Amino acid sequence: MKRLVLIISVAASLAACNSSDSNSENKIPDGPLTDSLKQVALKDSSNFTTIAWADSTFKDLGDVKKGQVVEIPFVVKNTGDKPLIISSVQPGCGCTVAEKPEQPILPGKEEKIVAKFNSEGQSEGSHTKTVIVTGNTKPFTQHTLSFKVNVTK
């Protein structure tokens, strides 16, 4: 009888060790993420989540005076049950830069991705610019944000 209790105890201990190791490998921490952790989140579909854009993925800013810098906020909400990791935001040209949240966005929470367009050096007229957002989202890991401006004198 003692032997049976010992075998069950050892088996339970080993099972507990194995389950905590596998969970700790796939758990996304709450703090700032390293590039390697971002890549793990993008490759492991068990970490994927869903998102919704609070307003639109396209914004028409109307007229912008040449030389003006405008900020374009895009609000993203994590509608899934895993932390959302925005691994990169890639503007389509040098006149636009973008800032992303560095912390994971917890389920049910919102954050902003802010694009900044510098109209200096741009020709007068209509311009449409894009920002590609990459994250641990399903069904697609990339999302295109875009905005339109009309550069004036």
List of domains in the chain: 35-152 (2.60.40.10)
For the segment 62-112, what is each residue's pLDDT rounded down to a tens digit? 999 999 999 999 999 999 999 999 999 999 999 999 999 999 999 999 999
H, E, C per residue of 85-139: CEEEEEECCCCEEEECCCCCECCCCEEEEEEEEECCCCCCEEEEEEEEEEECECC
> Amino acid identity of 147?
F
Res 1 pLDDT > 80: no
| pTM summary value | 0.73
For the segment 116-144, what is each residue's pLDDT rounded down to a tens digit? 999 999 999 999 999 999 999 998 889 99
Question: What span, in angstroms and rounded, lies between the C-alpha atoms of 61 and 105?
Answer: 27
pLDDT at site 140: 87
> Could you tell me the pLDDT band of residue 147, with boundaries at 50, 70 and 90?
very high
The values of phi and psi at residue 20, to 5°, are -70, -35
